[in-house]
């Protein structure tokens, strides 16, 4: 079993994802497959970037290009403007703020350094073509930072999707933004986190 396999937040990040014909999708912090494991469209070309070579070795996405490096080096390791979609699920727990995950791979995915968000967003902006879509997910308490950081790296947020049980505060928020564009920001009605099944092209989880 993959110790840092796909989770409900990864499923939420992937929900409804579409890539233009011939486009490349890049997943930052992809682990062993990340977002791609939830997307049913087998024609999508994937670039998987992760700092953990052991997890990348477990990737079973056909034809995926695996890049083992820290997101801080992505701007020098990879060409600019190569992706039509970039997804990122940056670490969201501050060091010392919660019980450390038992699994080392899970710790890397969840425990954030002080510059985690800017480094992930800078890498996404570098990789995206003009007008390309950035998708990211995080805790509601970080929403303002997420929006500001998107704008700081020339990615205009246009959609906020809260996730959580009905009648309770959201546990996660997903942001969609466009590289080099500005649009009205829409806040969608809260919905439950998707299941752990594969997400079909229409955005519904099959469990």
What CATH number is attached to the domain comprising 149?
3.40.50.150
Is the pLDDT score of 107 beyond 70?
no
Pair 205, 198: CB distance under 8 Å: yes
Give the DSSP per-residue string, 108-174: HHHEEPTTHHHHHHHHHHHHEEEEEEEEEEE-GGGHHHHHHHHHHTTEEEEEEEEES-TTS--SEEE
Is the pLDDT score of 81 beyond 60?
yes
H or E element, residue 187: strand 186-187
Is the pLDDT score of 37 beyond 80?
yes
Asked whether residue 1 is assigned to any structural domain, the reply reads: no
State the pLDDT at residue 207: 25
Is the pLDDT score of 3 beyond 80?
no
Which residue segment(s) compose the domain that 56 sits in?
Answer: 8-206
Nearest one of 196, 13, 188 to 92, comparing CA atoms: 13
Asked whether residue 133 is assigned to any structural domain, the reply reads: yes
Mean pLDDT to the nearest integer, 180-204:
74
Q: Are strands 186-187 and 155-163 parallel, antiparallel or unpaired?
A: parallel
State the pLDDT at residue 200: 44
Pair 167, 141: CB distance under 8 Å: no
Contacts of 21 (CB under 8 A, 6+ apart): 43
Pair 133, 27: CB distance under 8 Å: no
Is the pLDDT score of 160 beyond 70?
yes
Asked whether residue 172 is assigned to any structural domain, the reply reads: yes
pTM of the predicted model over 0.75: yes
State the pLDDT at residue 197: 44
Pair 84, 133: CB distance under 8 Å: yes
Asked whether residue 62 is assigned to any structural domain, the reply reads: yes
Domain count along the chain = 1
Asked whether residue 3 is assigned to any structural domain, the reply reads: no
Give the DSSP per-residue string, 19-79: --TT-EEEEET-TTTGGGGGB--TT-EEEEEES-HHHHHT---TTPEEEES-GGGHHHHS-
Asked whether residue 2 is assigned to any structural domain, the reply reads: no
Asked whether residue 175 is assigned to any structural domain, the reply reads: yes
């Amino acid at each position: 079993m993959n110790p840092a396999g796909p989770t409900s937040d990864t499923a939420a990040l992937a929900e409804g994802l579409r890539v233009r014909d011939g486009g490349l999708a890049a997943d930052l912090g992809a682990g062993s497959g990340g977002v791609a494991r939830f997307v049913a469209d087998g024609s999508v070309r994937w670039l998987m970037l992760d700092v953990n070579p052991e997890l990348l070795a477990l990737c079973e996405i056909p034809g995926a290009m695996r890049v083992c490096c820290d997101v801080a080096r992505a701007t020098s390791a990879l060409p600019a403007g190569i992706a039509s979609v970039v997804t990122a699920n940056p670490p969201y727990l501050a060091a010392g703020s919660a019980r450390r995950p038992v699994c080392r791979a899970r710790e890397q995915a969840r425990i954030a350094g002080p510059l985690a968000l800017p480094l992930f967003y800078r890498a996404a902006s570098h990789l995206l073509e003009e007008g390309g879509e950035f998708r990211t997910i995080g805790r509601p308490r970080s929403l303002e930072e997420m929006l500001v950081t998107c704008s700081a790296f020339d990615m205009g947020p246009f959609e906020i999707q809260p996730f959580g049980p009905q009648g309770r505060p959201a546990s996660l928020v997903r942001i969609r933004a466009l590289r080099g564009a500005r649009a009205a920001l829409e806040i969608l009605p809260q919905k439950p986190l998707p299941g752990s099944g594969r997400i079909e092209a229409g955005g519904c989880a099959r469990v």
